[in-house]
């Protein structure tokens, strides 16, 4: 079976699409947190599992966590987001 590789937008392209990143409860999994990415039309672009994202970001100072998470997300917006 062939898995298609996910391609990501450049940070500049992602910044043009992303209007907000909102921490929310996963409606399908109560108690689980997700970070939902919204575009300028207030439409969901994609979401990230909070725990997996924090693990991927790695250890950072508490005061730098928000910026580190935001930067990680902007570097991982899939290219199909342009089609929304």
pTM of the entire predicted model: 0.89
Unique residue bearing structure tokens 């910044």? 15
The answer to whether residue 6 is domain-embedded is no
Q: How many CB atoms sit inside 10 A of residue 34's CB?
A: 19
What SS3 state is found at 24?
strand
User: Which pLDDT does position 1 carry in this prediction?
Assistant: 44
User: Which pLDDT does position 24 carry in this prediction?
Assistant: 96
Distance CA 43, CA 18 (A): 10
Low-confidence ranges of the chain (pLDDT < 70): 1-3
User: Which pLDDT does position 84 carry in this prediction?
Assistant: 83
User: Which pLDDT does position 55 carry in this prediction?
Assistant: 97
In whole numbers, what is the pLDDT of the chain averaged over residues? Answer: 93
Domain total in the chain: 1
The answer to whether residue 54 is domain-embedded is yes
Give the domain range for residue 18. 11-83
Distance CA 29, CA 74 (A): 25
The answer to whether residue 48 is domain-embedded is yes
The answer to whether residue 1 is domain-embedded is no
Q: Give Cα 17 to chain centroid, integer Å.
A: 12
């Amino acid at each position: 079976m062939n898995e298609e590789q996910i391609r990501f937008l450049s940070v500049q392209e992602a910044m043009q699409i992303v209007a907000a990143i909102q921490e929310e409860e996963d409606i399908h999994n109560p108690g689980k947190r997700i970070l939902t990415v919204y575009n300028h039309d207030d439409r969901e672009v994609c979401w990230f599992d909070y725990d997996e994202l924090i693990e991927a970001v790695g250890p950072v100072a508490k005061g730098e966590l928000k910026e580190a998470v935001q930067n990680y997300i902007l570097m991982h917006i899939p290219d199909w987001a342009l089609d929304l």
